[in-house]
Amino acid sequence: MSQSYFSLKATADAQYTLWSHPDNPRIDFAYDTSSIAAGIDDLVDEFKAVIKNENLHIDTGMIAGYGLQWANPLIQITSSDGTTVLYGNVTKSDISDLIKEAQGLNRNPLDITLGMLHGQRNDLVTIEKHPYLQLEKERRLLRNLGFIDPANIDHYIARDGYLALSDILERGITDEEIRKEITDSGLAGRGGAFFPTGIKWGFLSSADKENKYLVCNADEGDPGSWVNRIIMESDPHTIIEGMIIAASATYSNIGYIYIRSEYPLAIKLMQKAIDDAYAKGILGNAVLESKLNFDLRIIKGAGAYVCGEETGLIASIQDSRGMPRIKPPFPANSGVFFEPTNVNNVESFASIPMIIRNGSSWYKEYGVDSISGTKLFSISGDIKYAGIMELPWGTKIKDVLKVVGGISNSSSFKALQAGGPLAGYLPSSIAENLELVPEQFKEHNALIGSGGLVFVSDNTCSIQLNLLFSQFVEDESCGRCTTCHGGNQRMTEVFKRISKGGGRKEDMRNLDIIANTLLYSNCVHGQASPTIMKNTVDLFADEYNNCTINKVCSGSTCACPGLIKLMIVDQFNPKLNDALQICPVGAIKKINGKFDINMQDCIRCGACTELAPDAIKQISDGNVYETPSFIPRLFSENFKNLIPETSLITPESITTNTKIRGEKSLSGMQNL
């Protein structure tokens, strides 16, 4: 332990002991983006007002909650004996009970009690026993959740933060040794490409330049993935420590953390962490009084998905449009300001301190042959309990579905959409047998991506899901490659037409040509943008053909507008009046005492079926129904005249024409 670290640690330990064994009981509010969305701010005000008005000897504080997002707002109460209890779904009506708890006047579990976080109490189980956490073996990346105030550097240090850094600096561990430990650990880049981190650092280490840059990629643009946000909001110093260790293993002196603007709280907490690290001599010149110099700064993104691609990220940092460019040169040769650069994901950097502290074999205790360690997953969709989990690689997907409460609303599991818009879409029949292992996804031409798992129920039509994602990749294309911006535009048009009831038998071939053309794009955005579409055509062929050829859509909450009709099945249901009132376009009318829905005006928003589910039914009977020009998802084109007369072509008749997959020829383009 270096002298400077020793004194930091001594101060931090003293502080932390006081905090974890407070004189007065303390109520800590879990404060993160999710709890803010759940209304924690109001709750904090209310609690503080009660404590003040009644002159109670109870303190309040902030904490990164234990991560049970579905149970937000979460609060923790720490008593002077050092025990900490976690409560969830807290509302204002729970305040008096919780105050009693804090005062030790109530010792029976409340229905909002989730479990014991620290210490023991006879009547309470430990939080690890909670059904939601049954797949988590050990919290490593999340080790500080619930145990520190993320805005307090002393809490991090007291829990052995910056110990790994101090150790390598003190013992003079060489860059090569650090890289070897990381390589031996099997840590593979968490941004989604899984390139071995230690090896990547080797490229930068060998570059012979005065200024070398480290970039932490916190752009996390994949909708449905928010694992990086969790780390930034709960344990920002692990990322900083990981970056400084990386700096010493690569001889880098300048670092950037590029955070998307959608994460204002993460930006605030990271900035606080950086400022505190500077103040303690952990960043800047002579890190912990060693010879290492490292400066670190945040760049706030501005809403462009492809800035997450590393060359786009670099362009965005250096004052330009964040457009990905052709590689090589790779960032290790020419990155930020054309100097050698290494880009890593937040989770990759956050994994470094624990590997250095505990060794590579410890890290490999979890995982599978092909990839080691634990990984954060963000889980959402048609499930009961959306949230994050830290799971060992190799966890079974069907087990994950079980602990998140299964598919909600008594519908069934249709598909898994993992890893964001470039990654894939697998039917339940495959997903149920998969483990969280990148190779297993690859076998089905899908990717596992950066940690998002979206469970899809059979209420959703795959064509609509495709339409959403193809609009996303079209919108987010940087426009450099004609294949990417034009191809994705084309793909979107085809899905819009199918949605409107204008599907054609040749669409399958057209989509295939588009997919092959997209392969010639410069970056992975264009290359991978047809992944979900290809999965759909291959693995959901029946459904695809039903929407395209048979004009029957199986979706309910999310269905092809041109393939559905609303029917009034009970004229005497009083709720029809509500439906009439709510309809935003006046498509429901009451004429001569009878309700009627005009499908030419109806935008298929679903408000009426929501209010009068027993009186209005949605049907899809193989007919194409006219849609008004005002449906944003189908905007601009009017395909009405293009719908073939004989739309009932059987699926068999089309498969013979679809043999283009795999051919590298672009000649089919002219057919589009």
Partner 1 sequence: MNNNYNKDSILKLLDPLTPDNADLLEALHLIQENFGYLSKEALEIVGEKLSLSVAHVYGSATYYADFRFEPPPETIIGWCSGPACLLKNGIGIRDAMLAVFGTELGQQLDNPSVEISMAQCNGTCEQSPQIWINEKVVGKLSVSKAITIARDIKEGK
Ligand X SMILES: Cc1cc2nc3c(=O)[nH]c(=O)nc-3n(C[C@H](O)[C@H](O)[C@H](O)COP(=O)(O)O)c2cc1C
Give yes or no for residue 221 binding ligand X (CB under 6 A). yes
Quote the least distance from Cβ 630 to ligand X, whole Å: 32
- The distance of closest approach from Cβ of residue 526 to ligand SF4 in the complex, given in angstroms and rounded to an integer, is 3
Site for partner 1 in 284-313 (CB under 8 A): 297, 299-304
Q: Which x/- pattern, by CB under 6 A, does the window 515-554 give for ligand SF4?
A: ------xxx-xx----------------------------
Residue 385, token pair as written in the block: 């309990």
Nearer to ligand SF4, 99 or 588 (CB): 588
Work out what residue 478 binds among ligand FES, ligand SF4, ligand X, none; the CB cut-off runs from 5 to 8 Å by kind. Answer: ligand SF4
Contact 104, 96 (CB under 8 A): no
Give CA–CA dist 420/472, Å, rounded: 10
For position 597 contacting ligand SF4 by CB under 6 A, the verdict is: yes
What are the b/e assignments for 130-166, b being 16+ CB within 10 Å? bebbebbeebbbbbbbbbbbbbbbbbbbbbebbbbbb
If we measure between CA atoms, which residue out of 516, 502, 404 comes closest to residue 457?
404
What token pair was written down for 139?
């919290």
Q: Which is nearer to ligand X, 221 or 562 (CB)?
A: 221
Going from the C-alpha of 424 to that of each of 10, 309, 382, 387, 537, the distances in angstroms are 50, 18, 17, 20, 12
CB 584 within 8 A of CB 632: no
x/- map, 319-338, ligand SF4, by CB under 6 A: ----xx--------------
308 binds ligand X per the rule CB under 6 A: yes
Q: In whole angstroms, how close is the CB of 551 to ligand SF4 at the nearest point? A: 19
CA angle 546, 547, 551 (to 5 degrees): 85
525 binds partner 1 (CB under 8 A): no
Determine the 3-state secondary structure of 220 from DSSP: coil
Binding string to ligand X for residues 157 to 196, with x set by CB under 6 A, is what? --------------------------------xxxxx-x-
Distance CA 351, CA 531 (A): 29
* 621 burial level (CB within 10 Å; 0-12, 13-18, 19+): exposed
Q: Applying CB under 6 A, what is the total number of residues that bind ligand X?
A: 21
Give me the torsion for CA of 361, 364, 366, 371, rounded to 10°: 180
Nearer to ligand SF4, 404 or 608 (CB): 608
Q: Which residues contact 448 (CB under 8 A, 6 or more apart)?
A: 192, 418, 419, 423, 436, 437, 438, 441
Q: Given strand 374-381, what is the order of strands in its sheet? A: 387-392, 374-381, 452-457, 413-418, 426-427
Q: Which of 197, 195, 190, 199 is nearest to 217 (CA)?
A: 190
Check binding of 44 to ligand SF4 (CB under 6 A). Answer: no
CA-CA distance, 497 to 494, in Å (whole number)? 5
Q: 446 to 505, contacts with ligand SF4 by CB under 6 A?
A: 477-481, 484-485
Residue count at the site for partner 1 (CB under 8 A)? Answer: 72
Instruction: Point out which residues pair with 594 in neighbouring strands.
Output: 591
| H or E, element range at 359 | none
Residue 379 CB, shortest distance to partner 1, in Å, is 9
* Residue 318 binding partner per list partner 1, ligand SF4, ligand FES, none, with a CB distance cut-off of 5 to 8 Å that depends on partner kind: partner 1
Choice from 32, 154, 181, 220 touching ligand X (CB under 6 A):
220
Rounded Cα gap, residues 245 and 228, in angstroms:
19
Within 263-282, which residues bind partner 1 (CB under 8 A)? 263
Residue 556 CB, shortest distance to partner 1, in Å, is: 9
CB of 172 to partner 1, least distance (A): 32
- By CB under 6 A, the residues from 299 to 318 that bind ligand SF4 are 306
Q: How far is the CB of 397 from partner 1 (least distance, A)?
A: 16
Q: How near is the Cβ of 524 to ligand X at its closest, in Å?
A: 3
- For residue 605, state whether it binds ligand SF4 (rule: CB under 6 A): yes
Residue 633 partner contact from ligand SF4, partner 1, ligand FES, none using kind-dependent CB cut-offs of 5 to 8 Å: partner 1
d(CA 78, CA 29) in angstroms, rounded, equals 11
Residues 220-239 that bind ligand FES (CB under 6 A): 223
| Distance, CA of 663 to CA of 652 (rounded, Å) | 22
Judged by CB under 6 A, does residue 474 bind ligand X? no
Counting DSSP H helices and E strands in the chain, the numbers are 26, 18
Binding partner of residue 216 among ligand SF4, partner 1, ligand FES, none, CB under 5 to 8 Å per kind? none
The footprint of ligand X (CB under 6 A) covers 189-193, 195, 217, 219-221, 306, 308-310, 343-345, 348, 523-525
The footprint of ligand FES (CB under 6 A) covers 223, 380
The footprint of ligand SF4 (CB under 6 A) covers 306, 323-324, 477-481, 484-485, 521-523, 525-526, 566, 582-583, 585, 587-588, 597, 602-608
